[in-house]
């Protein structure tokens, strides 16, 4: 087994943690920028309400004449405070950066007219970009719109279940679209429904990890150490490398004495995954399948 000194291990872990933190922070900012791009350059200028907190903010901006970003930040602030109550300060910092980017960019984009003249085009493109930005943010721990998320955070889901309100997400979206129809006209409400559905579906696809994962096989002499290191730093568990008689996966846990480890890793996390493996065992052989 390859032994790595504790001091060197701590340095490697610190560097990997900083690299992962920087990547998550950058993706949170990108997600906020994309969401603001779709909301304030397509939906809001065309009078289209996408539902969720973004839709409530756009509707409030339409009625008051204030910036959409001001309402975005104010309405999402309770969830941000909920995140800050958790011990993970890194997650709170990333959530703050993403939400601030979304709000500030929304304010900066506010005076710009719609980039598309067609209402259906604005609804389609704006809904896709909004859902993409929200999905990217959620993928990296940022909640840009609580009511447009394909799945709610654990704390919020527990709260809604405790209050006996499991369908509050759907009910609020329906209420927002109904208000949009009453205040802006039912034609715009129809476009708003299209934008809302596209945002939800795009967010669901973006947060779905399976299509973007690759199987990685590791041949090494220190499998136990690598498995423990990857679990501690990335949360991944090794998959069973041996198939059953009919091709199904063996449900039993993987013995750490094996010389081969199999993982299913997201493509964006591959560089970090490889650096962790090679820092623990420089002689390890990594094979990427289905790439």
pLDDT, tens digit (0-9, with 9 covering 90-100), for 162-199: 444 445 667 777 888 888 888 888 888 899 889 988 98
C-alpha span between 128 and 132 (Å, rounded) = 6
DSSP 159-213: HHHHTT-TTHHHHHHHHHHHHHHHHH-HHHHHHHHHHHHHHHHHHHHHH--GGGE
Q: Give the pLDDT confidence score for residue 125 in this predicted structure.
A: 93
C-alpha span between 126 and 54 (Å, rounded) = 12
pLDDT, tens digit (0-9, with 9 covering 90-100), for 3-31: 555 555 555 555 555 666 777 888 889 99
Query: Does residue 161 register a pLDDT over 60?
Result: no
Assigned token pair, 276: 């962790």
pLDDT, tens digit (0-9, with 9 covering 90-100), for 74-89: 887 777 777 667 666 6
Beta strands across the sheet bearing 213-219: 260-266, 213-219, 285-289
Q: Cα torsion for 179, 185, 187, 188, to the nearest 10°?
A: -60
pLDDT, tens digit (0-9, with 9 covering 90-100), for 33-76: 999 999 889 988 888 888 778 888 888 888 887 888 888 888 87
**Percent of residues, the chain, with pLDDT higher than 90:** 7
pLDDT, tens digit (0-9, with 9 covering 90-100), for 228-260: 888 888 778 887 754 444 444 444 444 444 578
Residue 162 neighbours by CB under 8 Å, 6+ apart: none
DSSP H or E segment with residue 214: strand 213-219
Q: Give the pLDDT confidence score for residue 18 in this predicted structure.
A: 62
Q: Where would I find the H helices in the chain?
A: 6-38, 52-64, 68-84, 89-109, 119-139, 154-162, 168-184, 186-207, 223-234, 270-280
On average, the pLDDT of the chain sits at 75
Residue with tokens 């091709």: 247
Query: Does residue 271 register a pLDDT over 70?
Result: yes
Task: Give this prediction's pTM.
Answer: 0.62
First to last CA, the chain: 30
Q: Give the pLDDT confidence score for residue 47 in this predicted structure.
A: 84
C-alpha span between 168 and 152 (Å, rounded) = 11
C-alpha span between 204 and 195 (Å, rounded) = 14
Domains and CATH numbers, the chain: 15-207 (no CATH), 209-289 (3.30.70)
């Amino acid at each position: 087994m390859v032994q790595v000194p504790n001091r060197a291990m701590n340095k490697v872990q610190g560097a990997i943690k900083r690299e992962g933190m920087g990547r998550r922070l950058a993706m949170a900012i990108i997600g906020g920028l994309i969401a603001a791009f779709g909301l304030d350059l397509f939906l809001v200028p065309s009078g289209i309400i996408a539902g969720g907190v973004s839709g409530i903010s756009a509707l409030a901006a339409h009625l008051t004449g204030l910036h959409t970003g001001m309402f975005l930040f104010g309405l999402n602030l309770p969830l941000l405070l909920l995140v800050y109550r958790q011990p993970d300060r890194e997650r709170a910092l990333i959530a703050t950066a993403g939400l601030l980017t979304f709000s500030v960019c929304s304010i900066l984009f506010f005076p710009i007219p719609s980039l598309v003249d067609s209402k259906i085009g604005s609804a389609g493109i704006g809904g896709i970009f909004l859902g993409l930005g929200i999905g990217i943010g959620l993928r990296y721990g940022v909640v840009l719109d609580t009511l447009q998320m394909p799945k709610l955070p654990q704390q919020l889901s527990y709260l809604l279940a405790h209050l006996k309100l499991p369908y509050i997400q759907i009910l609020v979206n329906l209420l927002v679209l109904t208000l949009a129809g009453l205040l802006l006209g039912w034609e715009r409400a129809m476009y708003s429904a299209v934008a809302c559905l596209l945002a939800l579906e795009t967010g669901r696809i973006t947060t779905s990890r399976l299509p973007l994962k690759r199987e990685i096989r590791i041949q090494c002499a220190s499998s136990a150490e690598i498995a423990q290191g990857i679990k501690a730093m990335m949360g991944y568990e090794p998959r069973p490398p041996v198939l059953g008689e009919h091709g199904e996966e063996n449900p039993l846990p993987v013995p750490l004495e094996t010389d081969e480890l199999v993982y299913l890793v997201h493509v964006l996390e591959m560089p970090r995954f490889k650096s962790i493996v090679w820092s623990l065992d420089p002689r390890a052989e990594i094979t990427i399948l289905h790439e």
